[in-house]
Chain A
Amino acid sequence: MKYLILGFILLGCSSKEPKEKPIIYPEESAEVNTTNPKSPSIVAKQLAAEQGSHFVTELNFDKGSTKLNQDHRKELTRLYKEARQEQDIETIQILSWPDSKKSDEQTGLADKRAKIVKKYLKGLDDEITFIEINMANKEDESDLKKSLKIQEAYKDKTSLVMVIFVPERH
């Protein structure tokens, strides 16, 4: 059978363009190329799992935008309800990425994105502690940032806000 399959592989050739265009990640990224990107990504899952959580989401923003759209709100509400149903939440960590390389303007953009997400989540529950981590801010040396730097898993991410609900245990 394996030789038959090998033969057919050699015949399975087409010059037609594929229907689904895959997302091609850079070589240094931890993500595998895919036609159907996972949400959350492996990096987000790992960062949450380090803290004993599996309640994590990634919100993609349009370039230059700090607007929290309807899909973002729905996703944050869904995750908050799911997390609260299972465990008491102690902190919510908000990691925000700018659109491009670090600059004062980009640091501000990442900061505004984190603030808008925090404001929405505070509306859902104002008793939880929030930790904001600006990935464009060189002075911010939080443990999460250090963790991302070990495998250089933060470099290819842009226009993104990662939200992790950390359970009470920690």
Chain B
Amino acid sequence: MSKSGKKLKIFIGILAVLAIIRIALPSLTKFALNEYLEDFSPSLVAHVSDVDMAIIRGSYTLEGIEARLKKNDREFLKIASVNASLSWKELFEGFLSSNILIKNLEMNYTQSLLPAVKEHLASLEEPKKKEKSPILIPRIDLLDSRISTDYVPSLTTKGRVILSDLSARITNVIPHKNSQFSPFNVKGTLIGSGKMKMEGEINLYTEKPQWTVDTEILNFDMTTLNKFLRKKLPLTFTKGELDFYAEAKSEAGPIKGYFKPFIKGLDVVKSDEDFEGPRHWIIEIISAIGNITFKEDQVMATRIPFTIDKEFKVDGDETIEKLIAHGFLQEQSRGIENSISLKQAQEEK
């Protein structure tokens, strides 16, 4: 055999080996990953159905992810696909940088999920905070997802869905000294009715996370709450639409903020449920006045400051003052005030 023929055979041989490795790589990765996910946590277990790789493009996709609780084998998470992109440019600069895109996530919140997650988190080692991390996750996106729960069945739609059409983004997921904040936003439909938006920032670099969040829920059909309220209060909404705004923050301590409900065209009727003593007295009085039917364009609104420090507390004095002001003097402005900011709070310290 000529020299050139031998070289060609070696070249073809190398190519064949590389091709076999390339073909086998997704299956080998899937096998190794599933081995790991089987035993990565004392309380949780997960499984991946398929792994796709586009090595030159730097795109890696996991498909058909399912996660279950070890204790009762209940499925709490299903994800159609998770795509991680790898930046070659940043790899050559010494960083592993990957954006993550999650599509069609379905999470089912059950009563046993929280203890299982706590058990899992307790088993993890505390990550060391670094001034500069060699791993970067610039952004995680969530698209076309939903959250369901069997925890409060009276507050869900068919299929126990509490939040649908869910999309979200969090950026700078692994913060470092010079870039500590991770801005995030969430959008979705609440109980099949209200359009919900949240935006905020979280500082995961500090020992205890600090965060600020603005929330908006628009056009929420109040009658959606009837099934839930029936068990708590002797009232039924026959119509009414709620717009809700809230701003809150926590600097590793109590949560402080305010919320502003706007209720339009409300019609409330007293239900036939029994009067349950002093807890229902105000409802009884309001119902007795028979004054809770409003015109279509009439809006009730106020601003309620609150603190959550182990329990939810409302600043009663300020609330009543605002109620009188908004009831008789000037209507409350819709929208958040942007009066709470994490940066500002740090400067005040």
Contact = CB atoms under 8 A, between A and B. Distances in A.
24 contacts: A3-B281, A3-B282, A7-B282, A7-B286, A12-B300, A12-B326, A14-B301, A21-B333, A24-B335, A30-B185, A32-B215, A32-B335, A33-B336, A34-B337, A35-B336, A42-B199, A49-B172, A49-B181, A50-B99, A52-B178, A53-B179, A147-B99, A150-B141, A167-B179
A18 B330 contact: yes
A13 B294 contact: yes
A50 B286 contact: no
B171 A50 contact: yes
A4 B333 CA distance: 23
B101 interface: yes
B236 to A, nearest CB: 14
B303 to A, nearest CB: 9
A87 B314 CA distance: 43
Given A8-B319, A13-B301, A169-B132, A33 B335 contact: yes
Nearest to A41: B199
Contacts, number: 179
A151 interface: yes
Given A3-B280, A19-B333, A13 B185 contact: no
A145 interface: no
Contact of A8 (B99, B184, B320): B320
Contacts of A53: 179
A51 B314 contact: no
A8 B323 contact: yes
B198 interface: yes
A35 B258 CA distance: 15
B224 interface: no
B199 A30 contact: yes
Contacts of A15: 298-299, 331
Interface in B171-192: 171-172, 176, 178-179, 181-185, 187
